[in-house]
Chain A
């Protein structure tokens, strides 16, 4: 392993860690304005929406894979299935789908 690549990896690690860590230090013991607090509490649901679409449609070149996977996960989740059941259910559904395609 060359030392220049180790140095590069270390620097990459540092620039990745800093944004992860900084908010905890900067906001420690500090009360944000209520409106901003509520905006931050909205973030998870917004992020989840953005993480799912449009990404799920592109898991394969054939868009049908994404649609089938997403629909099966939505149905399982709506029926109240446990998260592991949803994940494994979507994998199994897609495997069957590609077998019978």
Chain B
């Protein structure tokens, strides 16, 4: 499907793979835990891997396991999965603004499969436009880690050193911080954006107002809109400082 210009995609592919390494490390403890839980839930190795390969969405997979334990029906599990994952719509809409216009919609439909909170974050703060090659590389690395470590978790999750697993739980957060902080230097607008979104999210989650997925969507949309509104009004008032 995509062999047409794989040649000029390859340097970008390599960059994507490199950018995905942090995600690959961060996914390891989460996927191992998922694999272990899947095993205790009674899923076979095949089913465990299939969920990771086809759904490829951490939170939804955890919730599905929970619901399976409770004996919830398939329709309800599918519906819950949809609700938990609908936030990807916002991520894709934002990435689409950055994607290379010349890339065919088919290529975008292929790399859309790999969009998660983490691949989104890495791709979104990368300078310049997003090429399909870069996105393939990023996705392959993150996806490979997710599937591989799901299997490892099912195989021998219980025997992995506890202290390493616990300490590794910080990995993805460290990555998010590492992606965010450099972009904040020199831009008060972005500092406000991140801080306001974080505050909204804390209120929504700590106040038990919204579930995790919806809280992130609501706080991101609210703050992105409010901050843009303020900066537009400020520009109209004739005050210019970037």
Does B bind A? yes
> Is residue B12 within 8 Å, beta carbon to beta carbon, of the partner chain?
no
* Cα-based distance from A81 to B178 in the complex (angstroms): 8
* Cα-based distance from A54 to B205 in the complex (angstroms): 8
* Cα-based distance from A70 to B55 in the complex (angstroms): 30
- Chain B residues lying within 8 Å of A74, measured Cβ to Cβ, are 177, 181
The answer to whether B89 and A19 have CB atoms under 8 Å apart is: yes
Residues of chain A from 47 to 85 with CB closer than 8 A to chain B in the complex: 47-56, 59-60, 65-66, 69-70, 72-74, 76-78, 80-81, 83-84
Give the A interface residue count (CB, 8 A). Answer: 73
B-to-A contact residues, CB < 8 Å: 21-22, 25-26, 43-44, 46-47, 50-51, 54-57, 60, 64, 74, 77-79, 81-82, 85-94, 96-99, 101, 105, 108-109, 112-113, 115, 117, 120-121, 124-125, 163-164, 166-171, 173-184, 190, 193-202, 205-206, 215-216, 219-221, 223-225, 227-228, 232
Number of A-B contacts (CB under 8 A): 269
The answer to whether A44 and B94 have CB atoms under 8 Å apart is: yes
A-to-B contact residues, CB < 8 Å: 1, 4-13, 15-17, 19-25, 27-29, 32, 35, 37-56, 59-60, 65-66, 69-70, 72-74, 76-78, 80-81, 83-84, 86-92, 94-95, 98-99
Q: Looking at the complex, which one of A42, A51, A91 makes contact with B167 (CB distance below 8 Å)?
A: A91
The answer to whether B173 and A55 have CB atoms under 8 Å apart is: yes
If A9-B47, A16-B56 are given as contacts, then 9 extra A-B residue pairs at C-beta distance below 8 Å, sorted by A number, are A4-B74, A9-B54, A12-B55, A13-B56, A52-B198, A77-B178, A86-B174, A87-B26, A98-B163
* Cα-based distance from A77 to B183 in the complex (angstroms): 10
Query: Most B CB atoms within 10 A — which of A15, A16, A59?
Result: A16
Min C-beta distance of B72 to chain A, whole Å = 11
Closest to B73 in A: A8
What DSSP secondary structure best describes chain A's contact surface? Answer: helix
Min C-beta distance of B206 to chain A, whole Å = 6
The answer to whether A17 and B113 have CB atoms under 8 Å apart is: yes
* Cα-based distance from A12 to B55 in the complex (angstroms): 6
The answer to whether B109 and A60 have CB atoms under 8 Å apart is: no
